[in-house]
Structure 1
Amino acid sequence: MQQNYDAYTSEDQEVWKILSRRQIENLPGKAHPEYMSCLKEMQDVLNERAIPKFEELNEVLLAKHGWSITVVPGLIPVEDFFQLLKDRKFSASTWLRKMSELDYLEEPDMFHDIFGHIPLLMNEAYADFVQKLGALGVKFIDDPKIVKQLQRLYWFTIEFGLIKEQNKSLIYGAGIISSSGETDHVMNDNISIKEYNIYDIIEQDFITSEIQTLYFEINDFEQLFSSIEGLEESLLELKSETA
């Protein structure tokens, strides 16, 4: 599949402009400076002026840390998703929500996939963490328990992760960054934030249909990669015990 850029309507372009401008104004002081820095680094190919062209995004991503975007029709089987991450390919939809869906969407669209996820792949430690998570998913794809644990890890880091910066909790998870409502919720509502522990996370269930109330907070992006390096040995031990 490929992005058919000529198929985007004037409404699609306007939706992208509204969503991106809203978050570009909303995120400073709430999103971690590294996300804002990565977004700025990509501003020639990822901005509020128009829907981005995937081929231009790929040129930047490949040159930085060897990542690229693979077009998918929507949600894909978990084994395919993990394989793409292992190969440093991030799956993204090309469809965009309608004007009537600006504030709520059941299934992730292109704005979530691109604006939320892509910028931080310019950070080496984060990009390596995402790739390693995919590699573990491929390695343990035949073990439903471990696959579920890795999905929990993805959820509480890549989608809804927080990061500490000068004693303040800031956002790096794409599920928050791509949503003005989630961004304001994290900053203003009563939520529970736990210190990052990869072994606690893989045992923590989540519900996709409800607004988040529990978050895990890392100290820095290097912590993500170092933690997942140690996780592989623990998963191997778990698998041998249950074999």
Structure 2
Amino acid sequence: MAATDSTPPPGAAPDWTIPQDWASYTATEHATWDTLFARQSAMLPGRAADEFLAGIEMLHLSRPGIPDFDELSDKLYKATGWQVVAVPGLVPDDVFFEHLANRRFVAGQFIRKPDQLDYLEEPDVFHDVFGHVPMLAHPVFADYIQAYGQGGLRAMRHGAIEKLARLYWYTVEFGLIRSGAGLKIYGAGIVSSRGESLFALDDPSPNRIGFDLERVMRTLYRIDDYQQTYFVIDSFDQLLRATLDTDFAPLYARLKDLPDLAITDILPDDTVITRGTQAYALERAEG
């Protein structure tokens, strides 16, 4: 979700970046990060993709306290050429895509309050850094995110941001991947959420469907609760190749003439890994 105002807020540069001001974090804020990190890192082995766990290790995210973006960027740049830059919150689409296209990942520099551990409307430093940055240490995924940013700039010219946003949502934020040990999570919205880390793999409610680029870009999503459908990739190379090998201009033209798909739709040619009961969503709707 992008910022609605295209003017940078006071104190932000024209590209919306701001100093992280790491020294200003309080002991309580560092403790909140430590609580979130300990809770998530304890439950992710065996659930999260090996590439995500390797990124945490390589970037030394287990050190106490909120990471310093300068130190983090130094390690990340040596691995894949990426940097982490602080922003005051959500940024406009063109700013977001421009940063990604130039291997700069925008991260909120604020952290949630201690009473908001389980839910926060706007992404904070824990979601952005713990959830997203470890995967940027993986060369193929790092290339995918840059290609996505470049594609976003092109999508703006085609009026297709909404379609492309679905690709980000169902991969970068809420993606699953097959492994020899079964399904694993890699999407930042899942790995940074205790509840969804359990729900995405264990609950019988959601559909789990094999990834297909056009299918994903036609599918609506929800932002207010756990996902009712997850898309499963076979490899990160599959994501990169789908982005680099596709001519998006005719794809966008074709999508304009096709109806959007409901969140829970299952199509005859879908690769259905799990046909969900949707019990969780139905119960929430009735309540």
Q: TM range, normalised to the smaller chain?
A: over 0.9
Distance 2:228 2:155 in 1: 29
Give 1:53's aligned residue.
68
2:249 is equivalent to residue 236 of structure 1: yes
Structure 1 CA distance, aligned partners of 2:90 and 2:224?
15
- In the comparison of the two structures, how many residue pairs are matched? 237
Structure 1 stretches lacking a partner, 5+ long: none
1:41–1:17: structure 2 CA closer, same or farther, 3 Å change rule?
A: same
Task: Identify which of 40, 47, 58 aligns with 1:23.
Answer: 40
Asked whether the 8 Å contact 1:58–1:67 carries over to 2, the reply is: yes
Q: What is residue 124 of structure 1 aligned with on the other side? A: 139
How many angstroms does 1:62 deviate by? 1.0
Percent identity at matched positions? 36
Cα pair 1:129 1:225 within 8 Å, conserved: yes
SS in 1 for 2:36: helix
User: Comparing both chains, which one has the higher relative contact order based on Cα–Cα distances under 8 Å and sequence gaps of 6 or more?
Assistant: 1
Is 1:176 the counterpart of 2:190 in the alignment? yes
Once superposed, what is the RMSD of the aligned Cα atoms?
A: 1.4
- What is the deviation of 1:167? 5.5
Selected match of 2:54 from 15, 18, 37: 37
Which structure dedicates a bigger proportion of its chain to helix?
1
Distance 1:186 1:140, change over 3 A: closer
Deviations 1:64-123 (A, max 9, x none): 111101211111111111111101100001100000001111111000000000011111
Local SS of the residue matching 1:169:
strand
**Which runs of no fewer than 5 residues in structure 2 stay unpaired?**
1-17, 257-287
**Residue matched to 1:90:** 105
- For 2:123 and 2:63, the matched residues in 1 are separated by 19
SS of the counterpart of 1:141? helix
| Alignment partners' CA distance in 2, 1:114 and 1:134 | 18
Is residue 112 of structure 1 aligned with residue 121 of structure 2?
A: no
Deviation beyond 3 Å, 4+ runs, structure 1 = 238-242
Question: Equivalent residue for 2:148?
Answer: 133
- Tell me if the contact between 2:40 and 2:193 (Cα under 8 Å) persists in the aligned partners: yes
Deviation digits for residues 168-200 of structure 1 (CA, Å, limit 9, x no counterpart): 111000000111111011122122100011111
Partners of 1:69 and 1:167 in 2: CA distance: 32
Compare CA radii of gyration and give the structure with the larger one: 2
Q: The residue matched to 2:84 in structure 1 has which SS? A: strand
TM-score where L is the length of structure 1: 0.94
Q: Report the residue type matching 1:131 in the other structure.
A: Q
Verify the 8 A CA contact 1:153 1:201 in the aligned structure 2.
yes
Native 8 Å contact 1:85 1:134 kept in 2: yes
1:8 Cα deviation from its structure 2 partner? 0.8
Tell me the alpha carbon deviations over residues 5-41 of structure 1, each in whole angstroms, 9 at most, x when there is no partner.
Answer: 1211111011000000111101001001111112111
Give the distance between the partners of 1:53 and 1:60, measured in 2 at CA. 11
Counterpart contact for 2:97–2:152, Cα < 8 Å:
yes
Work out the CA distance in 2 between the residues paired with 1:147 and 1:230: 19
- Deviation, 1:240, is 6.8
Q: How far off is 1:226 after superposition? A: 0.6
SS in 1 for 2:157: coil
